[in-house]
Amino acid sequence: MLRATTTASTIVIFVLAINLRPAVTSLGAALPDISVAGNLIGAVLVALPLWAIGLGGWATPWLCHRLGTHRTVTVALAGLVLSLAGRVLGGSAQLLAGTALACLCIAVLGTVLPLLAKGSAAFTLGLGLGSTAGALVTPTAVMSSSWRYALGLWAIAALLALQLWQRTPAEFVPPQAAAPGAVPAAALTLFFGLISTVTFLVMGWLPGILRDAGVPPTTAGTCLALSMAMGLPMMWLVPGWTRRWKNQTLLVVVLAAPNVIGVTGLLLAPAAAPWLWAVATGTGMGSLAFVLTTISLRSKGRSLALSAVVQGVGYVIAGFGVLACGWLHTHTGTWRTPLLLVLGILLGQVVSGHAAVSRRTWALRVPRLPAVRRQPEVPEVGV
């Protein structure tokens, strides 16, 4: 019975995690074809999800206290369904508002899920699969119908997740909210923010970079899907590596190296080997799996607060990084300067990652929250 319950919990985590990225990767895949998005709107659309996810991450502990974790996730999933369906029904204002609301809902799910997963690869694998599906399916849907249909169909996946969650027992909740205090998370937060910057730049701009270099639109879209697909095995393997590798700094460097190769290739010869650069940037997604697993495993007594602080502040940092790259592209007319900035961000990722895993870091304050009733123990989610 315990094993069956654990298996069911793993399935729930996997299905919910699938819905954390299609809202973003589908937008990146369809962005060149969205008629209501000019260059500036496109830059904002890539940065906006990060700011929205950051704000939503900060609000999650408060929502969980006020509504309870199960109801909070239910509301977030319902909001995700409505926002994904509604953002394609109008012009640029509706697209921006719907994307912002969708990412606020994703933020709530993304803050709670690492705690439910407790380091399980089901979370990171579902995240990677959702990223791949959004990048792979969307270009085909755009060509066969329209960008509105291609973006709107992801509301169906969110609706299915909502139906599954409503059949999940209310006792399936994370640990109680942490008491206020200092959390040693400054370096981990910066590390997460820089990783997210690179991740969202790849998801949002890779097809545009390749198309501007003369790569056919179909090939560019397929390269994004390939990049996301290459992240899948990393999302499965890296959680285990995170637990077993004794030299965590070496793991930080190893996981960052593919992105350095991919970004350098996009800078020097984007059209020469687009498939290779896609494989490299996709393999670099392992850094995201590493930091998410670290959040899950570290400081169990403060799990919800740690996740909220790291993801809340980290995504805001990433939003400014993505917007800076988009602004540089708009004002220079080329991708050279933005890609040089990305290489600098990758260097910062390695430095902050070393500080995060060495645990010699500054503390951040956890928002003061009222105590939450202790919930019944539930089986730990399996791998």
Question: Which of 48, 160, 144 lies closest to 95, judged by CA?
Answer: 48
Instruction: Identify whether 193 is part of a domain.
Output: yes
Over residues 25-40, the pLDDT tens digits come to 787 667 666 655 555 5
Helix (H, G, I), strand (E, B) or coil at 245: coil
In a domain, 377, yes or no: no
Is 383 within the bounds of a domain? no
| Structural domain includes residue 379 | no
What stretch of H or E contains 72?
helix 69-86
* Residue 373: inside a domain: no
Distance CA(31)–CA(153), nearest Å, equals 16
Q: Let me know if residue 380 belongs to a domain.
A: no
Separation of alpha carbons 298 and 304, rounded Å? 11
Q: Is 26 helix (H, G, I), strand (E, B) or coil?
A: helix
User: Buried (b) or exposed (e) across 26-36, using 16+ Cβ within 10 A?
Assistant: bbbbbbbbbee
Asked whether residue 345 is domain-assigned, the answer is yes
Pair 34, 147: CB distance under 8 Å: yes
Summarised one tens digit per residue, pLDDT across range 120-156 is: 778 888 888 887 788 778 878 888 878 788 888 899 9
Q: How far is CA 65 from CA 78, 370, 376, 377, in A?
A: 19, 8, 16, 18
Say if 328 falls within a structural domain: yes
Chain-centroid distance, C-alpha 111: 11
- C-alpha closest to that of 367 among 186, 180, 185: 180
Give the pLDDT of residue 374: 44
The answer to whether the beta carbons of residues 232 and 283 sit under 8 Å apart is no
pLDDT in tens, 348-379: 999 999 998 885 555 555 454 444 444 443 33
| Structural domains in the chain (count) | 1
Domain range for 342: 2-365
Q: Which amino acid is at 343?
A: L
CATH code at 77? 1.20.1250.20
In angstroms, the CA 110 to CA 113 distance is 5
Taking Cα atoms as reference points, which of 197, 201, 167, 200 lies closest to residue 77? Answer: 167
pTM attached to this predicted model:
0.75
